[in-house]
């Protein structure tokens, strides 16, 4: 694969940057270009008609009615960024981006189209208008999705959520606060089964019960029927509304047939400078697979923090920087009155160390590889999170016994041994 090795030496007045995707990654790229002195044109293309907005509040403040909009507080005209909203990218030509509203020529292109929510297998896509009886269930990915669902989550409504992942837990939290009767269906034997080991997900199961949420594990959906979700074992779960939260995939189908290389899951393959296989084209955010020297593998991160930093990293590359992109991945989830945070990247063979008791208000899990901290999951222990992020970045080696003591600051467990 031939990566674009062109070394950009600085902004040229008449060079045009087109950024496809008006989410966090695309918006940050545009802002950072102007902050860095880019004097050429910058066009930000978004498929939605809304001004560029933040997504994390969609399953929290917007659902709860605390906010009607989450637009970034930016004056795009003052920044000199041209917004091309309500335009969907359809393909790439020779130096042009094809959209459903015509072509946009570019000198440099940034692909930041994010990810799209997965529908239930065999049901096709579903949007904000798909009701419980529509056979598909609703997806919660856009502002319109969230606003539409908010109108329906009234006291006594029976909400069924398919998927006990991060979005399922957050939506269940909001729905219970609104007085809904909530059932969560999970095909696996535990919530977050693909992300965390059973010893960590077991205490999380109790959070559902404590919040008054019915959690059904090993529950495979066969059909979304009027008034109910039917499971593979024949069980009918009553439902006024159904929301599907079973994951997301890179939103890159529109690149089919283009020279931009993608992996089997659709993620855009880049080098460690976020350059794609097509000269002059970069990628940022949820749609990217980049090589991490830190973790020794390619990774695709679909979280807010990565979108922010990768968008700005692409801008810096366009402004002449030549630095590899390899941050410590990080995300958070607010659910059932708890702040859950994760940093790093763990593997199945890593040593798991429990720090504190899951029955207590706050606890932490650490993963070590040959003594080096690779990842951390923490519940309501922000100091652990802050110290661990620095240690992972530095390749810090911990004493397991000290690290397991919740009274010992993690930074004090570095390179130390109990007497």
- CATH code for the domain in which residue 271 is found: 3.50.50.60
Q: Percentage of the chain with pLDDT > 90?
A: 87
Terminus-to-terminus CA distance in the chain, angstroms? 53
| pLDDT of 118 | 93
User: What span, in angstroms and rounded, lies between the C-alpha atoms of 149 and 241?
Assistant: 9
Count CB-CB contacts under 10 A for residue 364. Answer: 23
> In terms of domains, do 129 and 242 share one?
yes
For residue 2, pLDDT over 90 is answered with no
Indicate the DSSP class of residue 407.
T
Domain end, chosen from 203, 223, 246, is at: 246
Same domain, residue pair 302 and 346: no
Tell me whether residue 2 is in a domain: no
Q: Is residue 326 part of a domain?
A: no
H/E element, 390: helix 382-394
Beta bridge partners of 20: 45, 111
Read off the pLDDT band of 4 (50, 70, 90).
very low
The verdict on residue 151 lying in a domain is yes
pLDDT (average), residues 45-57? 96
Instruction: Report the C-alpha gap between 192 and 171 in whole angstroms.
Output: 15
CATH number where 390 lies: 3.30.390.30
The torsion angles phi and psi of 206, rounded to 5 degrees, stand at: -65, -30
C-alpha 270/C-alpha 277 separation (Å) is 7
State which of 318, 353, 372 marks the end of a domain. 318
Q: Are strands 297-299 and 330-335 parallel, antiparallel or unpaired?
A: unpaired
Write down the pLDDT at residue 416: 52
The average pLDDT across 353-377 equals: 92
Q: How large is the average pLDDT for residues 263-292?
A: 97
Each residue's pLDDT tens digit, 305-333: 999 999 999 999 999 999 999 999 999 99
Question: What integer pLDDT is reported at residue 14 of this predicted model?
Answer: 77
For residues 111 and 256, state if they share a domain: yes
CB of 162 closer than 8 Å to CB of 267? no
What whole-number distance in Å separates Cα of residue 380 and Cα of residue 389? 15
Per-residue pLDDT tens digits for 228-247? 999 999 999 999 999 999 99
Whether the predicted pLDDT of 126 surpasses 60: no
* Shared domain check, 233 and 146: yes
Structure tokens given for 171: 């939506």
For residue 245, what is the enclosing H or E element?
A: none
Model pLDDT, residue 135: 61
Answer yes or no: do 177 and 235 share one domain: yes
Classify strands 241-244 and 138-139 as parallel, antiparallel or unpaired: parallel
pLDDT of residue 122: 60
Domain that holds residue 377: 337-413
Please provide residue 306's backbone torsions phi and psi, each rounded to the nearest 5 degrees: -65, -40
Query: Do both 129 and 67 map to the same domain?
Result: no
Residues 270 and 370 in one domain: no
| Whether residues 363 and 279 fall in one domain | no
Distance of CA 261 to the CA centre of its chain: 21
**Pair (164, 237) in one structural domain:** yes
Q: Are residues 232 and 261 in the same domain?
A: no
Look at the chain and report how many structural domains it folds into. 3
Residues 283, 242: one domain?
no
Is the pLDDT at 5 greater than 50, yes or no?
no
pLDDT of residue 127: 41
State residue 123's pLDDT score: 52
Give the pLDDT band (50/70/90) at residue 10: low
Q: Which two tokens stand for residue 208?
A: 């559902």
| Residue closest to 183 by CA, chosen among 237, 244, 247, 118 | 237
pLDDT tens digits for range 67-117: 999 999 999 999 999 999 999 999 999 999 999 999 999 999 999 999 999
Residue 10 in any domain: the answer is no
371 falls within a domain: yes
pLDDT of residue 7: 42
Under 8 Å between Cβ of 111 and 44: no
**DSSP letters spanning 251-269:** S-GGGTTSS--B-TTSPEE
Q: What is the pLDDT of residues 14-25, one digit of tens each?
A: 799 999 999 999
Q: Does residue 332 belong to any structural domain of this protein?
A: no
Higher-confidence residue of 126 and 383: namely 383
What was the pLDDT predicted at 199? 86
Please identify, among 257, 284, 318, the residue that sits at the C-terminal boundary of a domain: 318
Same domain? 86 vs 139 = no
Kindly state whether residue 7 falls inside one of the protein's structural domains: no
Q: Determine, yes or no, domain membership for 86.
A: yes
């Amino acid at each position: 694969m031939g990566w674009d090795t062109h070394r950009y030496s600085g902004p040229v007045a008449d060079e045009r940057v087109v950024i496809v995707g008006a989410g966090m990654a695309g918006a940050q790229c545009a802002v950072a270009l102007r902050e860095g002195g880019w004097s050429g044109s910058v066009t930000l293309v978004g498929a939605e008609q809304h001004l560029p907005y933040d997504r994390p509040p969609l399953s929290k403040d917007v659902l709860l009615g605390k906010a009607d909009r989450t637009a970034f507080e930016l004056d795009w005209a003052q920044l000199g960024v041209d917004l091309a909203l309500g335009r969907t990218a359809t393909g790439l030509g020779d130096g042009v981006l094809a959209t459903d509203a015509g072509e946009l020529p570019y000198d440099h292109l940034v692909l930041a189209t994010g990810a799209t929510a997965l529908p239930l297998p065999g049901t096709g896509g579903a949007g904000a208008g798909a009701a419980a009886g529509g056979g598909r269930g609703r997806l919660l990915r856009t502002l319109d999705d969230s606003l539409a669902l908010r109108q329906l989550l009234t006291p006594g409504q029976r909400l069924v959520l398919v998927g006990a992942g991060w979005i399922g837990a957050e939506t269940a939290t909001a729905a219970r606060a609104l007085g809904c009767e909530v059932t969560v269906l999970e095909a696996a034997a535990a919530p977050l089964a693909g992300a965390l080991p059973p010893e960590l997900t077991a205490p999380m199961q109790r959070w559902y019960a404590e919040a008054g949420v019915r959690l059904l594990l090993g529950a495979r959906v066969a059909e979304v029927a009027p008034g109910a979700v039917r499971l593979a074992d024949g069980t009918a779960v009553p439902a006024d509304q159904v929301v599907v939260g079973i994951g997301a995939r890179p939103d890159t189908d529109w690149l089919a047939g283009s020279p931009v290389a993608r992996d089997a899951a659709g993620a855009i393959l880049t080098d460690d400078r976020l350059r794609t296989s097509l000269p002059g084209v970069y990628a940022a955010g949820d749609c990217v697979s980049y090589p991490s020297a830190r973790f020794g593998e390619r990774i695709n991160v679909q979280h807010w923090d990565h979108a922010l930093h990768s968008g700005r990293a692409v801008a810096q590359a366009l402004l002449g920087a030549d630095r590899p992109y390899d941050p410590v991945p990080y995300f958070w989830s607010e659910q059932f009155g708890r702040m859950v945070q994760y940093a790093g990247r763990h593997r199945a063979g890593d040593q798991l160390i429990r720090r504190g008791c899951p029955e207590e208000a706050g606890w932490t899990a650490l993963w070590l590889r040959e003594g080096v901290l690779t990842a951390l999951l923490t519940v309501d222990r922000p100091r652990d999170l802050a110290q661990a992020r620095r240690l992972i970045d530095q390749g810090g080696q911990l004493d397991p016994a000290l690290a397991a003591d919740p009274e010992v600051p993690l930074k004090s467990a570095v390179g130390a041994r109990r007497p």
